[in-house]
Structure 1
Amino acid sequence: MPDTCNDRLRGGLIAFATLTCCCLAATMAAADEISPNRLTPLVRAVQKASPSVVNIQGQKTVADLANGSKHDGTRQVNGMGTGVVIDPRGYILTNHHVVDGVKQINVTFADRRKYVAKIVAFDPRTDLAVIRVRTSHLLPVIEIGTSSDLMPAESVVAVGNAFGYEHTVTVGIISALHRDVQVSETQSYDDLIQTDASINPGNSGGPLLNVDGKMIGVNVAVRAGAQGIGFAIPIDAAMEVAARLVSVEETENRWHGLTLRTNAAKQQVVVERVASGSPAADHGFRPGDVITRVGDVKTERRLDVERALLGTNTAQTVVVDRGGESTELRLAAESIRSRRGGGGTRRLMADRSDSWDTLGVELEPEPASTFSGKKSQYRGGLRIVEVRPNSPAEKEGLTAGDILVGLHKWQTASMDDVDYILTKSSLPRMNQVRFYIVRNDETLYTDVNVASATSRSTLRR
């Protein structure tokens, strides 16, 4: 079975053989004496990325197991992993299993500077987390590539804290794409990159780089007992999760009202939807706008927009490409408590709480124009704007952008319908509920077990 790279936490110290080393100053050639032939693309790639790669160390408490039985005692074990800086203010992306349960997260940079990090947000399902260190200066940020055009046999480099050996570099190729890997009964990964670049315990959360030094994956797992079989989360998927984890809504309880889509191949951020009554709607944003800059931040993916708004209290200048013409707009994220529209702030927050906790989705009314003129059997619907991580709805494949048109035997044309279904119908006494959604003008349904984390089926026509 595959093992997550960091989960082999070890108690006590690793015994090292005594090493005799020469004086580096006497053996290393000056930079200007290095032959250009030695500065291969892979060497340059590592030199470019290393300053933004960090080593992570920490301790966690685990149950003391002996002879396969659980005892009352616990013990401290050492853990290790890797992370990458995704924002100069100290935000670092890593695997959730690297920092899960760690009391003090110690981070070391390539220049030997050390910091203590705090967890910002995490998503156990995708096994990703964002941590933060606070410094008096801006930090170097990893350059993000794309996983949309990867090729088998393409050269790649893995950098990480392998078995505690900091900033270990290994080289290989992409062995395969789109691998689904089951690590344990509770953890699985979908659509991974397979590589033969050596990945070991401690590499988790570190970058898989292409020859240009751009990060194209997050190293996450190895195949136990095998040689040359490691796995990485594609960077395009990882960056979408990171965008949610550092979003102003997740971290600061504020919102902007934009539903964004990253076109990784074109390095574009496209506005898919603008929520009615939102700050974005007030400032004139439209679906189809391509956001090219927010303040001083060039935006190539959704994460860039969230980073630019994070920690800002004033409206930012936003440059959008609208129909081939550049337009300047303004945008400031506002407190969620100030959400307008519908039945008022209290009602909107109650709606989110009910649908979020019970169904695993956040909903907002879909304009009637979506259904008019299409001979639709539905008189309305509710767009899913967010799916709760690790909820039954997420496990069944429901995603943001789906339009909920029915629950069990009731249509969901308005928030009033959902309020009735959740409070006055027989649904609260049911375990399994059928969801009807519209996706790409096609009606699909799935049965979701809303009473537990277990789901029953998959979306189907």
Structure 2
Amino acid sequence: MILNRKPFVSVLALGLLILAGTLSAKPWEERGSRAPELVRLPSLRPIIEQVDSSVVNISTSVEAAAMDPGTEGPFGPFMSPEQLFERFFRGPGQRIPRRSMGTGFLFSKKGHILTNNHVIEGADRVEVTVTTFHGSQRQPQQENFVAQIIGRDPRTDVAILKIESERDFPFAYLGDSDSLKKGDWVMAFGNPFGLDHSVSVGIVSAKGREISPNENRRFDDFIQTDAIINFGNSGGPLVNTRAEVIGMNTAIISPAQGSGIGFAIPINVVKEIIPQLLERGAVARGYLGVMIQDITEAMKEGLGLQSRNGVVVNDIVEDGPSARSALKPGDIIVRVDQTRIEDSRSLQRVIGRSKPNQEVQVEVIRDGKRMTLSVQLGALDEDGSPSLPMEDGPSFDRLGLLLEEPKEAGRGLRVVAIRPDHQSGVFPDDEIRRIIRGGKSLNLTNLETYQNLIKELEDGENIVFHIVRSGGAQFYLDFEVPSSRGKSP
């Protein structure tokens, strides 16, 4: 008997199709890869692809000082795992390197790199990782180099490194930060928390910002941006929509004062000192030798001035450049060469950007009359001069912190801001109540006590912070005092 197999085969095929349809069914709907975009927004990918290869990862190492065998016992409650390793496995006098990370960017095909001075300051060894991207999928390829420190300027927190290769390096173009306007789009490149080649986007929130913890230390003319800047972004480029570097990421401020507040050094400030750093490894600045003050509204009326523009000369520094000129106490400086002087900051900038021994024409108002005097500038010492406060780098103390006194009795010092490369475990808005040093505890209720203490600390010394974090959590944090010695260019 011959069976007709066709109906059976058809039923089987239909069953398989139904089963396949059941297995492939998804509990959601998809438009498909060819669905049109409903709204097309401009992509920032072309900017990233042009700049990304010029951004480098910087790793520095500092040889840790040998541990004193007479210090606290091996089971001290505040010892980190690294200290435990050193205590048990390191021989007497043996040194182990400690590492930190930051960002930089190539600005020439010959391997010159710009970064922050605080990223490499005190380093015994500086390593740079260059990442190039290839193909449509942008496959990364990394190369490691040992960098040479060509020059550094602590006052503007700028340093130049150099790496060597037989090939040309990718580099970023430097733009014009003076052309920036509030509201312009910017992108921050860097390696936050070691996450290399990260990018954040924001706008220029303001220009000419100043960070100043006290009247004696000031670093001004920052670009403020809401593009996210985190720990490890220090030295990275802030880029405009033309893929030009218009700033160098340098500082952040406490979230307690407002989240998303970052600061970058204008690239025009950097460009002014690049030639000197390349040529001589340091920056020479002019020095006027005067004690000055801004003009208040009451002083304007009392002096019979039409505006508050200018600065009053309170005194002339003995044996200084102005002492050899006709400039006198009581003169009101309103112009230097072709630059109008609005306040002490503008005088600071024009003199600081002038060269030593340069002769400048200083226009003053004396007894209601205008006159022009010639002054041959001196050279500003590396440690600064009390007669003319100069830019002294970001206003962090030697521990990388910016603190303020408590507003309530019984509280400790509040961390206002920290350097982006600061990886000690201290965070903005932490409250530091005590410092324990050599087994002795010191309560921190005012900045004077704290500042006197950190002056006594030795490089590589271990101290302990008693910290209260937001929410009330309390803990102790081990901290090693960073080296204060600079690296010779």
> TM-score range with shorter-chain normalisation?
0.3 to 0.5
What TM-score comes out, normalization by structure 2 length?
0.45
The answer to which structure, 1 or 2, has the higher relative contact order (CA under 8 A, 6+ apart) is 2
TM-score, with structure 1 as normaliser: 0.48
